[in-house]
Structure 1
């Protein structure tokens, strides 16, 4: 698992000490719906979440990083780089930040770091991310990192018990 450091953030493997972070977002209205964060923050569920993050690369899914403060190493969120479509030259990015740490540039720093890192690989020609239209903070983060909105994907995926629209953003190598 690579360690990526830049500016004020560190992208690193999840550790047992990150369980409180995961537990803190288990009651978030969105994060457990679009990720594998458990809505039941019991110790066994938190341990299973951390184990899933460790297994992402070995299972061929991609990478799951804890976004951590570079000075304290305290985790503030999660960032994934999914490689399911790598044979087509595409990878996708997703991220979340704990509410108390939002609007401090941490998502932008993490997205910029993973974008620069991923686009160095010959196999990655295109990075994609999907953002619900109402999530202005997330799409502004994408735009600040050079991602371009390509369009609205209507009824793109299930979030909870309903189909949701998503903006498609991309960043192209070169």
Structure 2
């Protein structure tokens, strides 16, 4: 595929897809690994949680739909448009989800989204997963800037971002639609060269 960029791309085409999606080790025994079809039941059950429903307006309705999502995740890695990991305890028990989305290899930027299962909350899973993914993406992944946004009403997500070294850059007014209407969104970012979390 040819590029119309007049600048040197941050990530040359094929940088990500040339290898298998990596396992990423995090503090406290966390391992980020690609989703496996056997994870479908826990993934589907996660979206029955009221807190996940509150902040994530897109969700699968059936186990079959989950498998379609997983296949799309694999295709996104191959196309270098996204990357999705299960956040696990030592590669086994699923504790949550974290993903790169809106990947722009030419500019070296990507967005990040995450959730944690109810039973794993309050143990620092989300900030540790976000720190681990960011460390990989800004080093081996060769990204330059990572960003995330969350509702200004989602104080837990704000704490996660700050703990993982994502600086608050501002507020996007009326930027996202949730079940109870439009929300202002906080924008956080971390760039290569920022002090580690």
Indicate which of 21, 30, 35 corresponds to 1:9: 30
2:150 alignment counterpart: 131
The CA distance in 1 between the partners of 2:166 and 2:144, in whole Å, is: 13
Q: 1:59 to 1:159 in 2, by over 3 A?
A: farther
The CA distance in 1 between the partners of 2:141 and 2:96, in whole Å, is: 28
2:186 alignment counterpart: 167
CA offsets 1:117-168 (integer angstroms, 9 cap, x no match): 1111585221101011121111111111111101110111233573321100
Q: How many pairs were matched up?
A: 171
The CA distance in 1 between the partners of 2:176 and 2:80, in whole Å, is: 22
Larger radius of gyration: 2
Indicate which of 62, 66, 82 corresponds to 2:82: 62
RMSD: 2.1
1:27 paired with 2:48, answer yes
Q: Is the 8 A contact 1:76 1:98 kept in 2?
A: yes
Q: TM-score, normalised by structure 2?
A: 0.77
Moved over 4 A (4+): none
1:145 alignment counterpart: 164
Runs of 5+ unmatched residues, structure 2: 1-20
SS of the residue corresponding to residue 123 of structure 2 reads: coil
Q: CA deviation at 1:50?
A: 2.1
Runs of 5+ unmatched residues, structure 1: none
